[in-house]
Amino acid sequence: MSFLLFICSFGAVAWAVSRLLKRPLDLRGAMRWGMGLGFLFTGIDHFVSASTRYAPMIPDALAQHALAWVYLTGVAELAGGMGLLVPVSVYERLGLPNLRKQAGIWLSVMLVCVVAANINVALKGQTVQGLEFGAWYFWIRPLFQPVFIAWALYCSGAWPKPKQAAGSQQAHAAPSIQQPSR
């Protein structure tokens, strides 16, 4: 739930700044900035607080390589956050496809995978350094994972698929064959 507070706050600030700069963001854009900055923040925190905050959350079956899992998810969060925030024009200049949708999809996959750590903390009745909200927090936290997954997919443009305008359907019709002029 603290992550929800981060991404909502970052999104609201991005929206307000965009208005001040006279380059207003729509809802999807503000949500994209919120999630992108949220994942940059938590991705960095995975390296700063790896052994104190994140490694104790790892389930016992994966605990032998706990720091590796923490660093891997930290890299995934940083890459996903950057993927959401890099302007499309930069992708175009570099000759790369727009990676925003891919970032949203892969962040969603990562969010599905890390729910095991959240459930592990709840089942063990642990507390996590910096997140001492009480046992109730860790029981409710996994319920928010679908919200974060939907947010990542929505803000990246991966879901729902944009609807085609009525006029654009004709553009996808079979092209007519023209005879060369003589």
Q: What is the pLDDT of residues 107-149, one digit of tens each?
A: 999 999 999 998 888 888 877 777 777 778 888 989 999 999 9
What does the pLDDT read at residue 135?
A: 75
Q: Which residue range(s) make up the domain with 55?
A: 2-161
- Mean pLDDT score across all residues of the chain: 89
Rounded to an integer, the average pLDDT of 61-90 is 97
Q: What is the tally of structural domains in the chain?
A: 1
**Cα(118)–Cα(138) distance, integer angstroms:** 7
Q: Determine, yes or no, domain membership for 19.
A: yes
Q: Determine, yes or no, domain membership for 172.
A: no
Tokens of 158: 């991966």
User: Over 60: is that where the pLDDT of 165 sits?
Assistant: no
**Cα(80)–Cα(153) distance, integer angstroms:** 12
Tokens of 179: 């005879």
- pTM score: 0.85
Q: Determine, yes or no, domain membership for 168.
A: no
User: Over 50: is that where the pLDDT of 176 sits?
Assistant: no
User: Over 60: is that where the pLDDT of 179 sits?
Assistant: no
